């Protein structure tokens, strides 16, 4: 159905305490141009951070340039997406190095990861720098309901000593609104869901538990608006809307399942209400909600701290009872190193599944993944030696038909990773001459 009047991109399905944004629909385009996304296609920027460095033997492709052979072990879950990402070698985060401050590489590397500065060694008067996602959020975030989103899966403590005199604020946050104000990641899927779709006050875990017991679905609150909208849409848009609302309902079902399982599973650590005990389930829930936020253009900027830097979380889900951090100090023992690789693979499997979902969601002639630039990486390279050069860096997505994928690009040594962030901010339309310790933009990512 082609209407003469375009549906607003900002249309919301409203109900009691609920406001659900919509995905890009053909009806939002001007008449006779229904195959195009209205206006400029949004480009998303996300940072997905994994802790404790990676087993670089199984991360870096041996060949330069286009991927030709089998991908390294850690990257293998991304085989179906091999042309959608680039591996960038030799990027350095100098701010993560000791620089006369002694031990504490985990505290420093996470605090400096997106800020590009050398953080102050302290547990009290914390000082880092404004992170690149927040510079972007300040300049272009007003285009969306949420200028940026901060998501995590593990620990959001903001005080105490998390590494040799470094505050937990450094190891447990990626985003910094100012040099003294970190933005803690949201860990609880239901709190995230309510943030995205409910406009009422955030309830206490207990109150939410009571409410959840009786509530059916957030979609029930917007039934009237949904029916009215469906009547105005063509068959393609009706199918898109149905798939979108189904994905929201699917997230709710995952909550119900996870909350039910939480009553039976002892995760071995304190968790707030609603956080699934199962790591993969938790990852799936949070990444699904980021997907919906991207789909409905509720936010274009996300940081995702998979687990806190320096974490000693065991991975019993895959048969590893040892803590992640102690394992990374393997001192070359192959049996320990192999467990580190397995954890790296496990993280990548979750990430790959998410990226494939983003690839499957169409947005005009492209996909959400095509219109995204998602950095996956760590603040350390070799977790055993705590190295801050040749960091593991992947850029997934085409940044709005801007980046050419499927390659390993090696830069000259000591090239700051801040140069990558500056290049990405350019792509997002952020106006800034420099960032952190940048020395310029990076080349080689672009098409052609």
Residue numbers of the site for other proteins (CB under 8 A)? 89-90, 92, 94, 97-100, 102-103, 105, 118, 385-388, 410-416, 434, 437-439
Q: Which is nearer to other proteins, 104 or 276 (CB)?
A: 104
443 burial (CB, 10 Å; 0-12 / 13-18 / 19+) is exposed
* Under 8 Å between Cβ of 362 and 31: no
Least Å distance between CB 413 and other proteins?
Answer: 4
Give the number of other CB atoms < 10 A from CB of residue 303: 27
Checking DSSP bridges between strand 372-377 and strand 44-49, what pairing results, if any?
A: parallel
Q: Which is nearer to other proteins, 242 or 434 (CB)?
A: 434
Q: Which is nearer to other proteins, 30 or 440 (CB)?
A: 440
Q: Which is nearer to other proteins, 317 or 434 (CB)?
A: 434
- Residue with structure tokens 């009571």? 210
Q: Which is nearer to other proteins, 163 or 437 (CB)?
A: 437
Extract the tokens encoding 393.
Answer: 């860096």
Least Å distance between CB 333 and other proteins?
Answer: 19
Residue 33 to residue 24: CA distance in whole angstroms: 14
Least Å distance between CB 103 and other proteins?
Answer: 7
Q: Which is nearer to other proteins, 5 or 412 (CB)?
A: 412
Q: Which is nearer to other proteins, 98 or 203 (CB)?
A: 98
Residues 6+ apart with CB under 8 A from 208: 190, 191, 194, 273, 274
Residues 6+ apart with CB under 8 A from 398: 84, 366, 369, 370, 371, 372, 373, 404, 405
Residues 6+ apart with CB under 8 A from 141: 147, 148, 299, 300, 301
Least Å distance between CB 92 and other proteins?
Answer: 7
Least Å distance between CB 264 and other proteins?
Answer: 45
Residues 6+ apart with CB under 8 A from 194: 200, 202, 203, 208
Q: Which is nearer to other proteins, 57 or 316 (CB)?
A: 57
* Under 8 Å between Cβ of 192 and 251: no
Q: What is Dmax (Cα atoms) for the chain?
A: 68
Residues 6+ apart with CB under 8 A from 68: none
Least Å distance between CB 336 and other proteins?
Answer: 19
Least Å distance between CB 137 and other proteins?
Answer: 21
Buried b / exposed e along 46-78 (16+ C-beta atoms within 10 A): bbbbbbbbbbbebbbbeeeeebeeebbbbbebb
Least Å distance between CB 343 and other proteins?
Answer: 24
Least Å distance between CB 109 and other proteins?
Answer: 12
Q: Which is nearer to other proteins, 232 or 414 (CB)?
A: 414
Residue 394 to residue 8: CA distance in whole angstroms: 35
Least Å distance between CB 432 and other proteins?
Answer: 11
* Under 8 Å between Cβ of 234 and 2: yes
Q: Which is nearer to other proteins, 11 or 432 (CB)?
A: 432
């Amino acid at each position: 159905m082609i209407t003469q009047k375009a549906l607003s991109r900002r249309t919301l399905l409203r109900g009691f305490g609920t406001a659900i944004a919509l995905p890009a629909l053909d009806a939002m385009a001007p008449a006779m141009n229904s195959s195009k996304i209205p206006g400029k296609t949004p480009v998303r920027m996300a940072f997905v951070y994994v802790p404790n460095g990676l087993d670089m033997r199984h991360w870096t492709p041996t060949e330069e340039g286009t991927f030709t052979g089998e991908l390294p072990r850690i990257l293998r879950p991304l085989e179906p997406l091999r042309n959608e990402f680039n591996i960038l070698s030799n990027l350095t985060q100098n701010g993560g190095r000791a620089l006369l401050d002694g031990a504490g590489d985990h505290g420093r590397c996470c605090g400096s990861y997106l800020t590009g500065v050398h953080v102050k060694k302290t547990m009290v008067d914390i000082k880092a720098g404004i992170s690149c996602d927040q510079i972007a959020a300040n300049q272009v975030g007003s285009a969306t309901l949420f200028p940026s989103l901060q998501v995590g899966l593990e620990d959001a403590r903001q005080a105490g000593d998390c590494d040799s005199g470094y505050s937990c604020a450094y190891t447990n946050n990626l985003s910094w609104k100012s040099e003294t104000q970190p933005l803690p990641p949201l860990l609880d899927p239901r709190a995230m869901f309510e943030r995205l779709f409910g406009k009422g006050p955030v309830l206490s875990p207990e109150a939410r538990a009571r409410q959840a017991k009786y509530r059916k679905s957030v979609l029930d609150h917007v039934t009237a608006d949904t029916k009215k909208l469906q009547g105005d849409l063509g068959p393609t848009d009706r199918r898109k809307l149905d798939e979108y609302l189904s994905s929201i309902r699917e997230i709710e079902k995952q909550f119900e399942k996870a909350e039910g399982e939480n009553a039976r599973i002892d995760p071995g650590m304190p968790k707030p209400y609603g956080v699934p005990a199962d790591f993969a389930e938790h990852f799936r829930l949070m990444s699904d909600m980021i997907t919906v936020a991207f789909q409905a253009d509720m936010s274009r900027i996300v940081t995702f701290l998979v687990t806190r830097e320096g974490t000693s979380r065991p991975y019993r889900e895959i048969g590893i009872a040892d803590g992640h951090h102690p394992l990374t100090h393997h001192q070359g023992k192959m049996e320990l190193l192999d467990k580190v690789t397995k954890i790296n693979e496990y993280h990548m499997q979750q990430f790959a599944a998410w990226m494939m979902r983003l690839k499957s969601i169409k947005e005009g002639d492209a996909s959400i993944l095509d219109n995204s630039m998602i950095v996956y990486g760590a603040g350390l390279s070799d977790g055993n030696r705590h190295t801050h050069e040749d960091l593991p860096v992947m850029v997934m997505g085409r940044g709005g038909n801007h980046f050419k994928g499927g390659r390993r690009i090696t830069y000259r040594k000591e090239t700051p990773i801040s140069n990558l962030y500056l290049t990405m901010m350019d792509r997002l339309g952020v106006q800034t001459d420099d960032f952190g310790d940048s020395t310029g933009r990076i080349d080689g990512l672009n098409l052609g």
